[in-house]
Structure 1
C-alpha cells in the first residue's frame, strides 16, 4: 500500500490503455472502476513483469498510491467528473493531484481548480489526443495547472507520450484551464481540416468524376509530400477499405449525417466571446449541423438546380491545383487556431508558449502534420508572433499557392458544390491581408441608427454626427 506511482479512475478503452502504457515504462499503476469486470480484466491483460492493480473500492485505490498522490480521471465530461471528484475527496489529502484527462469545458475546469485549491488539492485539466492507439503507445498530452505540482507528473507523462525526434509530445502548458483550452482549440482545428478534406473529396468526385481508386491514390500521394498528416493518411486508408458485405468501397455506404461531441462548437463560441476570428472552424461546425437536416436537403435538391459548369473533364493539372489549394487552406486553418490561443492566453492569463504547443502537436495527436515543425520554427524565431500569416517564410509559400486557392474556390462555385471551409478560409486570408476594410461604413451606420459614435482617421477623439 502506498507504493504505486499513478492511478486512473475509469477503466474504459482510454484509461486501460494509458495504464498499460505507463506499466510498459516501468511505473506501478492502479485503476479504479465501479465495474468489477473491468477492474479484474486490467490485471489479467498486464504482463507478469507489470505492477498493476485494479479495484472497485475508492478508499483502497487512494491508499495504493504514493504521496503526494497523482490520480487521473478518464470519465465522460460534465457531471460524471464532479461525481467522481466528490467520491474521492474524503480520501484525499493536502498536496494530492487530480488530473482530468477528458474533454472538459475549460470553464468547468476553472471552477474545479478553484474549489480544490481551496482544499489544498492541485487540480489539472489535461487534453489527451490520439485515441485508444495513442493512449496505448504514445499520445499527445496537454496539461495545465500548478507548475510546481507538475513536477510530480512530468516523469510519467514524458515517458508515455509520443516522441518526435526524441522529444516527448507533452509539456506544462500554463495556469488553470490552459490544457483544456489548448485541447479545445486542437479539436476546432481538427473539425476544420476534416471538413477541408471532405470538400476536396467531394469536388474531385462530383466535379471531376474521380473514381474511388483515383481519390485514394491522390490522398496517398499527398501524404508523401508537404501535406503529410495523420488526417490525410487515414483518409487514404478509408478510401481503400472495401465493405465485407457488398464489396463496394465502404465510405460510399456511410450516411452523410455527421455527428459531433461539441468541442468544435465550444471553440467557435469562445472565439466569438474573445473576438478571435476563426471562420474556417465556424463553417466546419455549421456544415456538420447542415448535414443533420437530410430530409430537408433531399427536398431542396428537387427544387433547385444549377446549370453552371457541368463539364467534368479534367485539366491536366487539376490534382496539382488542389494540392496547392489544400496546403494554402491548411496553413490558414492552423493560423486561425493558433491566433485564438495567442488571444486566449492574454485574456485568461495562461502564459502559453506557442512554440511548445506546436512541438507537442507534432506526434501522437489527431492534427499532427509535417507543417507543425514549420510553425514551431516560426514561434521560435518570434515568440510574440500574433498570427502565423505574419511569418515571412510561410508568407512566401502562401504567395506561391494563393492563385491555386482562388481557382479551386471558383471551381466549387461554378459547379454548385459547397466548399464552405475553402471559401471561408480564403475570405479570412483576404480580410487579414487587407490594410483597409469597409468597416468604416459599418461604423457610420451604427452612429446613424444608434448614436454609437465613431473614430476618425484624421484626428483624435470620439465623434457623433446628426446624419
Structure 2
C-alpha cells in the first residue's frame, strides 16, 4: 500500500538534504538512488526522521510507495541524466503523475522537456541555498503549469525559507522553463556579488595591507548596515577562520583559482541573445575564467611584474562603492528577467521574484525587501531610478568612481566594479557616441541610420560617392 505523499530520486548532497527537509516538515517521502547502498545508508542515518523516509530498491518500488496522483522530485545532475531518468519513468507513471526537475537545469532543456509531450506532467524548479538551504529552507522558483504547481505548493511552501514577515520564499515564476531561468539569473547575480566582494577584499589585503582578521572586522561592520546579506556575513566568517593545519588565516592558504558549474556562463550567454546588458555579471564570469589560467598569470607576473601596489583606500569608501556596485548588478539582473519575460511570454512577476530571493538563497540580502517594494511601485522602471536606490547611488557612485580610479592606477584588477561604473555612466548619458558607430556602419555597409531632425534620408553623403 502506498505510504508516501511525494518521492525523490537522487540522494546526493542536495537531494539528501531536501528529502530530510521534506520529512521534517511532516510529509512521508519515498526515496531512491541508483546505488541501493546509498539509499539504505540514508535511511539508516536519518535519525528521528527515518519513520517518514521510505527507502526503495527499484524505481518500480518507488512508484508503488507514492500515493496517486504521484509527485516525484528529480535531484540528479543536469543534462543527459535528467533525460535518462525521465525515459526510465515513462512506462511506470500515469498521465496525471508529476515529475519535478529540481536540479540546476538549463532552462532551454526545461522548455524542450515541457514541449516533448511526456506521458506524465512535468515541472522545472530552481532551488537555491546550497546544502544548508536544501536542508533547512531554500528559495524555490517553480516553472510549469499553474495547476501542477498548485498540487505541490503546500509542500514547497512548507520546506522553503521564510522571510522576516513569515512569507515562504517559494513561488511559481511562469510556464515551462521560467523557474530555471530565474534561478539561472540568480546564479549570475551570485557570481557578480561574490566577485565584487572579492575585489574589495583584495583592495583591503593588497592595497591597504590589512590582515584577514582586520578584514573580517570590516565585513562584520558592513553586515550591520545596508550591505547586510548572506555573502557579506560568510565573508566575515571566512576571513576570521584559521587553517587547522597551519594556524594561518584560512583565505591565505587557499589557491586563487575559482571553480564554476556553468550557470553564470549561461546567464552571460543568454543575455547576449536577449540583448540585455549585464556587464557586471559578464565581468564576474570572465574573472573566474581568468583565475583558472594560473600558469599564464604566473608567467605574466614574471614578465611584467606584480600588479597590485598600495593605494590606501578607506574601508568606508569601499563600503559605499560596493553598495553602488550591488545595486547596478541587481538592476541589470532584473532588466534581463524583464527581457526574457517579453521574449518568452512568461509574464514574470519582478516583485515576487525579489520576495522569493529575500531568504534561503545565496544572494539573500536586506536590500531585497526594498527592491521588492520598488519593483511593485513600477516594474517597468529601471531599479536605479527608484527613489530609494537613486539616493543610495548618489552617495555611492562617487565613492565607486574614486575606488575604481585609485585601484586601477595602482594596478589592481577591478573587472566587476569597473564594469558597473561604466554601465552607470552610459545609463546617465543622454547623448552617447553610438552615432559614430551608425555612421561607420552606413559607410561600409549602407545600413542607414536615424537622424535627430526631420530629414528623411537615412544615408550619409559617402553613399553618393561609393564605387
3-state SS, counterpart of residue 91 of structure 2: helix
1:231 and 2:219 are equivalent in the alignment: no
Structure 1 equivalent of residue 156 of structure 2: 157
Q: Which residue of 1 aligns with 2:62?
A: 61
- Contact conserved, 1:321 with 1:404, CA < 8 A, in 2? yes
Match of 2:146 in 1: 147
Asked if the contact 2:73/2:101 (under 8 Å) is kept, the reply is yes
- Tell me whether 1:379 sits opposite 2:375 in the alignment: yes
Q: What's the counterpart of residue 188 of structure 1?
A: 188
Equivalent residue number for residue 93 of structure 1 = 94
**Uncovered stretches (5+) of structure 1, i.e. residues with no partner:** none
Partner SS state of residue 172, structure 2: coil
- Which residue number in structure 2 is paired with residue 464 of structure 1? 459
Residue 430 of structure 1 pairs with residue 431 of structure 2: no
Q: CA deviation at 1:261?
A: 0.8
If the length of structure 2 is used for normalisation, what is the TM-score? 0.96
- What is the CA-CA distance between 1:41 and the residue it aligns to? 2.1
Distance 2:82 2:56 in 1: 19
Partner of 1:170: 170
Alignment of structure 1 residues 334-373 onto 2, 5 Å: 334-373=330-369
Distance in structure 2 (CA, Å) of the matches to 1:383 and 1:419? 31
The secondary structure found in structure 1 opposite 2:234 is helix
Q: Provide runs of 4+ in structure 1 moved above 6 Å.
A: none
**Which residue number corresponds to residue 301 of structure 2?**
301
**C-alpha distance in 2 between matches for 1:213 and 1:120:** 57
Partners in 1 of 2:64 and 2:427 — Cα distance?
55
2:434 counterpart residue number: 439
Aligned to 2:405: 410
Could you say what secondary structure the match of 1:59 adopts? helix
Map residues 181-260 of structure 1 onto 2, 5 A cutoff. Answer: 181-260=181-260
Question: Where does residue 10 of structure 2 map in the other structure?
Answer: 10
Between the aligned partners of 2:455 and 2:6, the Cα distance in structure 1 is: 60
The answer to whether residue 395 in structure 2 is matched with residue 400 in structure 1 is yes
Residue range with higher mean Cα deviation, 249-258 or 442-451: 249-258
1:411 offset after TM fit, Å? 1.2
Aligned length: 460
What is the rounded CA distance, in whole Å, between the counterparts of 1:150 and 1:113 in structure 2?
A: 14
> In structure 2, do the counterparts of structure 1 residues 89 and 301 end up closer, same or farther at CA, with 3 Å as the change threshold?
same
The 1:135/1:299 distance shift into structure 2, 3 A limit, reads same
**TM-score, normalised by the number of residues in structure 1:** 0.96
C-alpha RMSD of the superposition: 1.6
State the secondary structure of the residue aligned to 1:173. Answer: strand
Give the Cα separation in 2 of the matches to 1:462 and 1:400.
45
- The superposition leaves residues 410-432 of structure 1 with CA deviations (integer Å, 9 ceiling, x where unpaired) of 11111101001110000011111
For 2:310 and 2:294, how far apart are their aligned partners in 1? 27
How far residue 56 of structure 1 moved from its aligned partner, in angstroms, is 2.4
Alignment partners' CA distance in 1, 2:423 and 2:454: 29
- Give CA deviations for 1:43-73 in whole Å, capped at 9, x if unaligned: 2214267421111211111121122211110
Offset of 1:230 from its aligned partner?
0.6
| Aligned counterpart, 1:33 | 33
Contact 2:14–2:131 at 8 Å: present in 1 too?
Answer: yes
Q: Which moves more between the two structures, 281-290 or 293-302?
A: 293-302
The question of whether the paired residues in 1 share the 8 Å contact of 2:143 and 2:177 is answered with yes
Cα distance in 2, alignment partners of residues 433 and 62 from structure 1: 57
**Equivalents in 1 of 2:51, 2:172: separation in Å?**
28
Q: Which runs of 5+ in 2 are unaligned?
A: 463-467
**Contact 1:46 1:52 (8 Å CA) reproduced:** no
Instruction: Rate the CA distance shift 1:47–1:460 in 2: closer, same or farther, 3 A.
Output: farther
Per-residue CA deviation, residues 209-262 of structure 1 (Å, 9 max, x unaligned), is: 111111111111111111011111111111111111111112111111211111
Q: Deviations over 1:100-136 (max 9, x none)?
A: 1111111111110011xx2452211111111111111
Corresponding residue SS for 2:122? strand
Partner SS state of residue 48, structure 2: coil
**Contact 2:4-2:30 at 8 Å conserved across structures:** yes
CA drift of 1:349 comes to 1.0
Q: Is the 8 A contact 2:206 2:309 kept in 1?
A: no
CA distance in 2, matches of 1:51, 1:460: 75
Measured in 1, the distance between the counterparts of 2:305 and 2:362 equals 37
Q: Compared with structure 1, are the counterparts of its residues 151 and 443 closer, same or farther at alpha carbon in structure 2 (3 Å cutoff)?
A: same
**2:411 maps to 1:420:** no
Q: Secondary structure at the match of 2:170?
A: coil
